[in-house]
Amino acid sequence: MAPPSTELLDPSNARILICDELAPAAMEVFAQAGFTPDIATGLSEDELCLKIKGYHAAIVRSATKITAKVLRAADELRVVGRAGVGVDNVDCEVATQEGIVVMNTPTGNTTTTGELAVALICSLSRHIVRADRRVQSGDWNKKGLLGSELTGKRLGVIGLGRIGRVVADRCMGLKMNVVAHDPYLESTGKSSPVDGVELVSLDELVESCDFITLHVPLMDSTRNLLNAERLGRTKPGVRIINAARGGLIDEAALLELLKSGHIAGAALDVLADEPPTKDHPLLGRDDVLITPHLGASSHEAQFNVAVDIAKQVGTFLSEGVAHNAINAPAVSAKTLGRIARYVTLGEKLGSFLAQRLEGPLRKLEVTLSGDLLNEAKEYLPLSILVGALRKSVGGVNYVNANLVAREHGVRLLEGAEGESYAYQNLIKVRASSQGGEHSHVACGTVFGRVPRLVRVDDLHLDLEPSGTVLITTHNDKPGVIGQLGSILGNSGINIRRMELGTGKDAESARASGFLCLDKTPDSATLQALRDLDTIESLHVVEL
């Protein structure tokens, strides 16, 4: 599909589809600005694929999934507005590829969700829900309902972002000892953003806390963050609270540890599959409290996010300014349409370098060459920053990227020298860690409509930056690639494309390899590769 039209729309011509129930305040905001949205809730993916045609904007809460299929079926769609913070129900990568802006309302439900987590902590510690069920069924009896005080108990907050900070703050008021783990805050060496909350390692948090509450986004790096091994190392009698996203906890492992009595209770507002099937093993247990994804369900939060998204979508369609965009700079839709594929490329370069670097990222130096890129030099560096931060920071976008980078001690600078290659437009990025001991360079351009990685450090190559890339430093002698190929092949992994080079290290008989794989190698396969005498180092990058 061609990138969406960038013409500004008169509100009377703009077609907006509201796909989930929104607070009525949104309709008032739209009406005041002259828009008349349509409402069609509860559509299946196939129904939405048909319905979406001709609409310029789609607004969702969390029920409707804006999948790749829906985005590709849309012929006029310019913006997807998510009334809420998490955008995991929208395929943002495909939206970006298609030049469709995805925007969220990052702050409207922070307090409400934080307060739910606090309510779950209180309910769990005093068996409130079980007790109520018992009394409602006519049984006035406190047997088995002996609770625990919160005062003096250690609470571990995983993810000290907006919601995590609300929870930490409120729980200190309950006289709990609050510690938190957040790799970004930790790596900056900064003191905790919440007075009285100590930053600790994930291991220390997991092993020492009486209550553990999760407030991180669901991403590749956080999926199953509380896996069987970590859950197994928790303190006996621990209580686990998840009001962030299903998928952060290994539910099967949680169940086993509840059954054994090691974990005293779990309060879950979210599950890996929602809604759960009737025979879901976590249902019907006395030690598990489940709410139906209620985090943002308060009058205040629903009002806030509905008003915010209506204002943002209206402004984008009629003025071309994208506030709180996940995948686009706050630039006019016209400029965005022209640079959309370089925005994707910038994100990939940032993500590649952040993953390639040993140690936390501290500096990104960006050099843009070519007329098109110079037109967008205020915005493209942001795409690199967003790509570099997004693997670890939830909700980072083009509006808040600079702020988030400052909070996390990452500097974005204009690079010194340009490149004299024959590329019409080229992005060059140098990423450095603390003190600059480690640094890597990557260059990219767009051929036709496809972003390409054309240089990494001293090696000139031509790779599409997508999927799994295995980067090797190995002995430059015959047979090494064959060894790699057979270990990967034995694990059922196909090498889609490969680039090799000796770069600067030619004299030291060292070579580098970039192998695009059709899936991510498991840890045993990686170990087998690392065990080869000929392999000096190995790195997996997910793009």
Q: Give the residue numbers annotated as catalytic, written as ranges.
A: 245, 274, 293
CB 442 within 8 A of CB 456: yes
Residue with tokens 């603390």: 434
302 vs 445, beta carbon nearer ligand NAD? 302
- Report helix, strand or coil for 369: strand
From residue 286, how far is each of 132, 144, 238 by CA, in Å?
12, 10, 15
110 vs 355, beta carbon nearer ligand NAD? 110
Minimum CB–partner distance for residue 147 and ligand NAD (Å): 24
CB 434 within 8 A of CB 499: no
CB 95 within 8 A of CB 82: no
Minimum CB–partner distance for residue 138 and ligand NAD (Å): 33
Helix, strand, coil distribution of the chain in percent, nearest 5: 35, 25, 40
Query: What is the DSSP code (8-state) at residue 455?
Result: E
- d(Cα 68, Cα 101) in Å, to the nearest integer? 14
Minimum CB–partner distance for residue 108 and ligand NAD (Å): 9
CA dihedral 393, 253, 294, 264 (to 10 degrees): -110
Minimum CB–partner distance for residue 115 and ligand NAD (Å): 11
Q: Which residue is nearest to ligand NAD (CB)?
A: 161
CB 434 within 8 A of CB 422: no
The rounded Cα 222 to chain-centroid distance in angstroms is 9
Minimum CB–partner distance for residue 113 and ligand NAD (Å): 4
292 vs 489, beta carbon nearer ligand NAD? 292
Minimum CB–partner distance for residue 296 and ligand NAD (Å): 4
163 vs 426, beta carbon nearer ligand NAD? 163
296 vs 538, beta carbon nearer ligand NAD? 296
Helix (H) or strand (E) holding 429: strand 426-433
Q: Determine whether 204 is exposed, middle or buried from the number of CB atoms within 10 Å of its CB (0-12, 13-18, 19+).
A: middle
For β-strands 426-433 and 361-369, DSSP reports them as antiparallel
Report which of 268, 266, 270, 188 is spatially closest to residue 231, judged by C-alpha positions: 266
Minimum CB–partner distance for residue 289 and ligand NAD (Å): 14
- Strand partners for 90: 66
- d(Cα 279, Cα 523) in Å, to the nearest integer? 33
Helix (H) or strand (E) holding 405: helix 401-407
- CB count within 10 Å of CB 207 equals 15
109 vs 302, beta carbon nearer ligand NAD? 109
33 vs 219, beta carbon nearer ligand NAD? 219
- CB count within 10 Å of CB 433 equals 17
381 vs 395, beta carbon nearer ligand NAD? 395
Helix (H) or strand (E) holding 512: strand 510-517
Minimum CB–partner distance for residue 79 and ligand NAD (Å): 20
Helix (H) or strand (E) holding 152: none
162 vs 452, beta carbon nearer ligand NAD? 162
CB 444 within 8 A of CB 426: yes
Minimum CB–partner distance for residue 4 and ligand NAD (Å): 27
- Report helix, strand or coil for 155: strand
Report which of 330, 362, 370 is spatially closest to residue 438, judged by C-alpha positions: 362
Minimum CB–partner distance for residue 63 and ligand NAD (Å): 12
Give the Cα-Cα-Cα angle 417, 423, 425 (nearest 5 degrees). 75
Residue type, 441: V
- d(Cα 155, Cα 83) in Å, to the nearest integer? 30
- d(Cα 149, Cα 176) in Å, to the nearest integer? 9
User: Which residues would be at the binding site for ligand NAD (CB under 6 A)?
Assistant: 85-86, 109-110, 113, 158-164, 181-184, 215-218, 221-222, 225, 243-245, 269-270, 293, 295-296, 392-395
